[in-house]
Copies of this chain bind each other. A is one copy, B any other.
Amino acid sequence: MHLKRSAIALAIMLLSGIGYTQAQTAPLEDFKPSSFNQPFQQYPQVNSQGYARFRIYAPNADSVRVSLGLGGQGGTKLTKADSGYFIGTTAGPMDEGFHYYHVNVDGATFNDPGTGFFYGSQRWESGIEIPAKDQDFYALKDVPHGNMQQILFPSKSTNTSRAAFVYTPPGYEDGKTKYPVLYLQHGWGENETTWGIQGKANLIMDNMIAEGRIKPFIVVMTYGMTNTGSRPGGNRPRPATNNAPPDTTRRAGGPSGGPGGFGGNIAATNGFQAVLLDELIPYVDAHFRTIAKRDGRAMAGLSMGGAETKGITLAKPEVFGYWGLLSGGNYTPADLEGKMKPKFMFISYGSKEANGANALPKVEADLKAAGYNVTTYVSPGTAHEFQSWRRSLYQMAPQLFK
């Protein structure tokens, strides 16, 4: 009887649309092009409620779907119009911030010709930006701008030149000041371009510096996907032109000349720790005006980059004074026992990463009880996506290098 009542309740809920209340309401017709669209491209669009609308020209296709939609619905199915365009709107508002997606046309996967390209899932994917109420902190404003520069640093352990992006704060090039450095890592399937493009790390930094929220520091972002197996020819210098023969080995790497990559090539190797500690940090300290000691160094990462941060900071606690895990696990007193104490730890999740977010109060309490300096943060209404990490950077940054 209990079961039966539940079944009836569920049926009523489904019929009355409780599961997708928003889906039953027509979205407001104030759609505008996504901010991440290519120049001149009017689709995809977003409305003021956060609905996304897609349009794909495919005059002879039978079926076009977009991989983005509401959870559990398998994306958004577009409907064909007489014009040859398929068009469709998400069943409800999307979470604020950036979302990756791609298009399926009669079973074939392509990018949406309307959007820019964003490296994730080991591919350049399509992406859409749902305006957030707090988007001001990563907006491009009329404030002094730092520079994002691509460096190619020599790596003996991988026998190649490797790419990294370095954010230097406004005034860096004119002055003599030495700056602390945050080493900031991307997640699985992403690369050294990700924090700058999807994450808007440079704009977040510009704005925080302009507001006086932080003292200026340098941010270094490199490719951290070093655990996907070595690639053929890894023991000889790899030119940017990757002309290795076809093979079934996963060839980890950033763009070999694609977007965001000015000739940077990345050879995979086991040993991101060696690349970071023995090669990248010495290169950065030699070529930039850095505070080249523990108190002038932070490491943080999102997701897999958080796992890398945890592993490296615990293995070499003397290198970094400030440690940050963004949706990338927790530190516990047991992890830290007997080690050189970090000056500060930051741990964060999106609220929709329920397990991580719900456990955070205890994680923080345990660490504080054991005498550690830690701050935790939960990004409201976001999941394992970039809005959580943009906000985490904004929350973490003022607490670094104190």
Chain A contact residues, CB within 8 Å of chain B: 31-40, 42, 45-46, 56-62, 84, 105-111, 113, 115-118, 122-124, 129, 131, 135, 139-142, 145, 147-154, 161, 165-166, 173-174, 193, 196-197, 200, 202-203, 237-246, 250-266, 286-288
Contacts and interface: CB of A to CB of B under 8 A. Distances in A.
Contacts of A255: 38-39, 116
Given A39-B252, A123-B38, A202-B262, A139 B58 contact: no
A140 B108 contact: no
A286 to B, nearest CB: 8
B242 A33 contact: yes
B161 A140 contact: yes
Q: State how many copies of this chain the complex holds.
A: 2
A242 to B, nearest CB: 5
Contact of A36 (B38, B252, B258): B258
A388 to B, nearest CB: 18
B148 A35 contact: no
At the interface, is chain A mostly helix, strand, loop or mixed? loop
A145 B141 contact: no
Given A39-B122, A140-B265, A108 B151 contact: no
Contacts of A237: 141-142
Q: Which 6 A-B pairs have the closest CB atoms?
A: A259-B259, A116-B258, A149-B149, A35-B241, A140-B240, A60-B106
A78 to B, nearest CB: 12
A111 B108 contact: no
> Which of A62, A196, A239, A287 has the most chain B CB within a 10 Å cutoff?
A239
Nearest to A34: B243
Contacts of A286: 174
Contact of A149 (B106, B118, B142, B148): B148
A148 to B, nearest CB: 4
A196 B259 CA distance: 10
